[in-house]
């Protein structure tokens, strides 16, 4: 039987073990290392809080190029459902004009959040903007924006762990959990 955890009123079971996540993060870091090895200015990783913090921390530890890190905070979820409305609570407070920016998300589903982030970052006149996500749900994605760096593609499951939450719980779990079916 798979390992289970109960968060509030829902029971979840392991879907992706930590070892698989680590391999996927390492693979994305290698692509980033190849693409940004010879940049003049250190690229800026923009972590989207709260969910990306664990992925971003592990990702940058696997990079071999100089980089900077900052965070923005947006939200679009209530419980297990996206509201479709983006609320930005924290933004970039320094000049990124002419810099390469890599937006780091925990998960890209519909794309509303990432579309909001792209528009926000582009308004600050960067040299380039790329998207890096731990999880991508291609069946739910509504935009044409390219997601260049994808660690893993998944279906439409609601997942928690490794930074992702259910009503703010479960972010600390090292594995990815999915709602149990029983």
Domain span including residue 123:
18-153
CATH number of 38's domain: 3.40.50.2020
Residue 49 domain flag: yes
Question: Does the pLDDT value for residue 80 go beyond 70?
Answer: no
Q: Residue 15: what pLDDT?
A: 95
Q: What is the pLDDT of residues 85-113, one digit of tens each?
A: 666 555 677 788 999 999 999 999 999 88
Taken as a whole, the chain contains a residue count of: 182
- In this structure, is residue 93 part of a structural domain? yes
Residue 2: pLDDT band by 50, 70, 90 thresholds?
confident
- Whether 168 is in a domain gets the answer no
- Band (pLDDT 50/70/90 cuts) for residue 77 is low
Among residues of the chain, what percentage have pLDDT more than 70?
Answer: 90
For residue 68, list its beta bridge partners.
44
CA-nearest of 138, 52, 144 to 102 is: 52
Query: Distance of alpha carbon 94 from its chain centroid, rounded?
Result: 22
Q: How far apart are CA 74 and CA 81, in angstroms?
A: 15
Is 181 domain-assigned?
no
Domain count across the chain: 1
Please, which residues bridge with residue 138 across strands?
none
Residue 16 is encoded by which pair of tokens?
A: 């992706």
Place of tokens 């582009």: 122
> Phi/psi zone of residue 22: left (φ > 0), alpha (ψ -120 to 50 degrees), beta?
alpha
Q: Mean per-residue pLDDT for 65-85? A: 72
């Amino acid at each position: 039987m798979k390992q289970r955890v109960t968060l509030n009123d829902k029971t979840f079971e392991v879907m992706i073990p930590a070892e698989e996540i680590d391999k996927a993060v390492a693979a994305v870091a290698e692509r980033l290392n190849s693409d940004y090895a010879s940049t003049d200015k250190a690229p800026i990783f923009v972590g989207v809080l709260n969910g990306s913090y664990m992925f971003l921390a592990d990702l940058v530890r696997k990079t071999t190029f100089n980089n900077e890190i900052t965070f923005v905070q947006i939200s679009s979820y209530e419980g297990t459902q996206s509201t479709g409305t983006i609320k930005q609570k924290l933004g970039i407070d320094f000049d990124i004009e002419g810099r390469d920016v890599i937006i780091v998300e925990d998960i890209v589903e519909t794309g509303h959040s990432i579309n909001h982030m792209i528009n926000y970052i582009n308004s600050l006149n960067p040299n380039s903007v790329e998207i890096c996500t731990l999880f991508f749900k291609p069946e739910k994605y509504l935009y044409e924006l390219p997601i260049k760096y994808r660690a893993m593609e998944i279906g439409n499951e609601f997942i928690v762990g490794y930074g992702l939450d259910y009503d703010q719980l479960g972010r600390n779990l090292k594995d990815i959990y999915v709602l149990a079916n029983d």
